[in-house]
A and B are shown apart, each in its own frame.
Chain A
Amino acid sequence: AQSVTQPDIHITVSEGASLELRCNYSYGATPYLFWYVQSPGQGLQLLLKYFSGDTLVQGIKGFEAEFKRSQSSFNLRKPSVHWSDAAEYFCAVGGPAAGNKLTFGGGTRVLVKP
């Protein structure tokens, strides 16, 4: 069965500092990987996705993620955080082998200090 682990429940970062959110997955085939962001009281917005090809994926809002098959990881990064990046971030895995169902991690809540 597929699963996603986001080891960090909360992360606090200063505005302007870099951010890295960890995601480890378990999947029986080549995965489709996603990062979504959820602002308070809002739905989930797609930041970026990986299906195949270049393992470094660029997304919206200055985010990027790198797929590392050997480590079963898909960590999300941003070089310089803005106060508006305070939100909850979810990593998800899916793909044809899973009937296109997505499994989400527990989320990482990011707090941005001024």
Chain B
Amino acid sequence: DAGVIQSPRHEVTEMGQEVTLRCKPISGHNSLFWYRQTMMRGLELLIYFNNNVPIDDSGMPEDRFSAKMPNASFSTLKIQPSEPRDSAVYFCASSSPGRGGLQETQYFGPGTRLLVL
């Protein structure tokens, strides 16, 4: 399996521009997670989906951030408008149901390094 795929790997944009990050989970996984990693705040869960439905978006910083999962093999995280403080590495992870339908190990993608100037 190719693992979790994220694109782009790097993104440099100017403040105010729209940024779209993309994620393809591992085939057969039914949960998808978006994380943000910064030096100051470490790894933060932004949102996660189960069977394409958003379950918990309490980590989404503000209305400028939105995430969608139109089908089981694709998700996007959009920032509009972007700000310098959004600069971070954004990770996507996916997991599959384990025993009793409970989610097990999360597998991470390589991340998208975002720089907002």
Contact = CB atoms under 8 A, between A and B. Distances in A.
Contacts, number: 41
Interface string B87-101: 000010101000000
A42 B113 CA distance: 10
A45 B108 CA distance: 7
A105 B33 CA distance: 17
A51 interface: yes
Contacts of A90: 43
Contacts of B45: 101-103
Interface residues of A, number: 21
B48 interface: yes
Contact of A43 (B33, B91, B104): B91
Interface of B: 4, 31, 33, 42-43, 45, 48, 55-56, 91, 93, 95, 102-111
Which 10 pairs, one residue from A and one from B, show the smallest C-beta to C-beta distance?
A100-B103, A44-B108, A43-B108, A104-B43, A43-B110, A106-B42, A96-B102, A43-B111, A43-B109, A46-B105
